Amino acid sequence: MDHRQQTSFQRLELEHAQRDAGALEDIENSNALTTDQSEFSRGYVLRMLAAIASIGMGTNAAYWGFSPPAAILTYINEDIGPSDNASLFPIIWTLACGISIIFFGRFSDKFGRR
């Protein structure tokens, strides 16, 4: 960072940080992780909102794929004939979700945006 471009606060911060090596490292890490708003590409906010919305829709789809059938599972079991295997539904659903995450994660890594 050029001394001419530093504000008085930044100079004071660096003076205090030079006394403590850990604080200087924290400042350098903080500067590396921050981005000025002018550096964002056009449409960044829209893409971020779309990503958040898609995560929310995926979560809702996962909940609604499991919750309504689980809530009425006893009635479904009575209608199609009593079976002890009806209690396996939550176990199978959980295992299927875990296995599908492995495959779809791999597919998104392979065919996703690069």
Q: Retrieve residue 5's tokens.
A: 């471009």
Q: Is 12 exposed, middle or buried (0-12, 13-18, 19+ CB in 10 A)?
A: exposed
Asked if the model's pLDDT at residue 17 lies above 90, the reply is: no
Per-residue confidence (pLDDT) for residue 113, from 0 to 100? 65
Closest CA to 10 of 35, 2, 37: 2
Binning the chain into helix, strand and coil, the percentages to the nearest 5 are 80, 0, 20
Element spanning 63, H or E: helix 44-71
The pLDDT value recorded for residue 42 is 83
Give, as one character, the DSSP assignment of residue 38: G
Q: Residues with Cβ < 8 Å from 1, sequence gap 6 or more?
A: 10, 31
**pLDDT tens string 21-30:** 666 677 777 7
